[in-house]
Amino acid sequence: MKNIRINIRKIFPFVVMMFLFPAFLLVSCSRNDAWSFVGFGGGGAMFFPAVSPHNPDFAVVACDMTGNYLTCNGGLSWRMFCLRGPVRYFVFDPVDSNIIYANSIGLFKSRDRGNTWDLLYPDPTDVTGIVSRGDHASEIIITKDSTRRRVLTMAVDPSNSNILYAAISIDTTLAFCVSADQGIHWSREKDLENGARNIFVDPSSPEENRTLYIAGENTITVRENGIWKTNPGPSLVRSLTCYAGGFDMEQDRFIIYAISGRSYFNPEGDTSGIYYTEDGGLTWENRQDDLLQWRMKGADFPEWRTIATSARHPGTVYVSYCGLIVHKDTTCIGVAKSEDYGKTWSLAWKDKLSPGGDVYASNYKKGWIDERWGPGWGENPFSIAVSPVNPDICYTTDFGRTVKTTDGGKTWEQVYTRKKEGAGWISRGLNVTTG
């Protein structure tokens, strides 16, 4: 990891706290491949898994304690790496299997499958230092012009790794920007007035003039044939909490899903829905009704916490749910799955919570967290990542676990710890709580 340390020394010549330090003294990017694990794995909130489109066994996960974790063998083992702050999203290059992007205190890029990382945005030549502040010592990049620059979301062109699309905020302004040289230079194309949660690229559109969908707070801004327009979200919905999208080759359409309602990510509440659009938000259909058939008559709406689909097989869609009251004494949490674009649903993962005792789903293989505290502790997933090439493979993350299915939800298995014969639990390298 010597190269990473040298790169970051060039990028961050000093750290501004109560006094100045050389930046390399505070960098913790060491590789742990040569070390064995003392801890038992897991134990903290995990977020934003992503699966490589080139190999479904290659995946990454972030946690709230600033660590990130990479597996090349489907979760049998993990390697930790740090990018100075909590990562908010990962993006795999769809063309070059070696390139990964990760956004923490800046946008970082790896050209060697996550072994080393370099700051991409802001431009390292514009960086003069970092500020570390707050009780978490959160770091902020300081630029020469003292602007706060962030890449809220990004996408890579489906057939050209040189072309990047991003929503970049500079202080209070937000704009859609394009780079033709892998992020070295950026051109500003359009101001965005309603936020940006995702950028989707239609792979069937002309390479020289892509059709783009920018998912905002409650709108989708579309660029088609070079013309921009903004379509409103579903009626009566103030905030769509999560989007997912993919191109359907059979129907030759780009499908976008979104969810709304009271949830962990929207405590103020909203109209409940699992929404489907095949025309960039021009029309929406609420496809939660079949899933609500599991709800006891008259009960409150359940929470839809996150939604995910396969980028190349969007007919399959997963939703994390909780608060699904199926009986006056029983509430279910877990993951629901649809294989027909959300028209019909099954409860692929169903933990039961009741005054008489909580019960794990029978198709879930447990770890030490499950044995110690039960299903109410980890809760239902914060995030779900579906393999772009195989909709049966997905990773989920929650308050303490990373869990995986390889058979479309018929079975689920935790991938953060392993049981030693006749003894306790041993980490797979996904260490949030450690020894």
* DSSP one-letter string for 274-332: EEEESSTTSS-EE--HHHHTTSPTTPPPPEEEEEEEETTEEEEEEEEEEEEEEETTEEE
Query: What local confidence, expressed as pLDDT, does residue 432 receive?
Result: 85
pLDDT in tens, 297-344: 999 999 999 999 999 999 999 999 999 999 999 999 999 999 999 999
Say how many residues make up the chain. 435
CA distance 56 to 45: 23
Give the confidence band of 25 by pLDDT, cuts at 50, 70, 90.
Answer: very low
- 6 φ/ψ angles, rounded to the nearest 5 degrees: -65, -45
Give the confidence band of 137 by pLDDT, cuts at 50, 70, 90.
Answer: confident
Residue 216 one-letter amino acid: G
- Strand order of the β-sheet with 412-414 is 364-365, 412-414, 402-405, 394-397, 383-386
What average pLDDT does the segment 197-203 reach? 98
Cβ atoms of residues 93 and 156 within 8 Å? yes
What average pLDDT does the segment 21-28 reach? 32
Give the confidence band of 153 by pLDDT, cuts at 50, 70, 90.
Answer: very high
Q: Is residue 176 pLDDT above 70, yes or no? A: yes
CA distance 148 to 140: 8
Give the confidence band of 138 by pLDDT, cuts at 50, 70, 90.
Answer: confident
Query: What local confidence, expressed as pLDDT, does residue 31 receive?
Result: 52
Query: What local confidence, expressed as pLDDT, does residue 8 receive?
Result: 38
CA distance 190 to 187: 10
pLDDT in tens, 33-45: 666 667 889 988 9
What average pLDDT does the segment 174-184 reach? 97
Q: Is residue 229 pLDDT above 80, yes or no? A: yes
The strand pairing partners of 188, in sequence order, are 177
Query: What local confidence, expressed as pLDDT, does residue 388 receive?
Result: 98
Cβ atoms of residues 8 and 15 within 8 Å? no
CA distance 348 to 337: 6
Cβ atoms of residues 101 and 161 within 8 Å? no
Q: Is residue 278 pLDDT above 90, yes or no? A: yes
Q: Is residue 26 pLDDT above 50, yes or no? A: no
For tokens 């950026």, name the residue: 186
Query: What local confidence, expressed as pLDDT, does residue 434 receive?
Result: 53
Sorted by where each begins, the domain ranges of the chain are 31-94+235-427
Q: How many CA atoms lie within 13 A of 326 on its CB side?
A: 15
Cβ atoms of residues 361 and 412 within 8 Å? yes
What average pLDDT does the segment 273-294 reach? 97
Secondary structure (3-state) at 125: helix
Give, for 368, the enclosing helix (H) or strand (E): helix 368-373
Tell how many helices (H) and how many strands (E) occur in the chain: 4, 35
Q: Is residue 225 pLDDT above 50, yes or no? A: yes
Other CB atoms within 10 A of residue 168 CB: 23
pLDDT in tens, 70-116: 999 999 999 999 999 999 999 999 999 999 999 999 999 999 999 99
Cβ atoms of residues 319 and 274 within 8 Å? yes
What average pLDDT does the segment 396-409 reach? 97
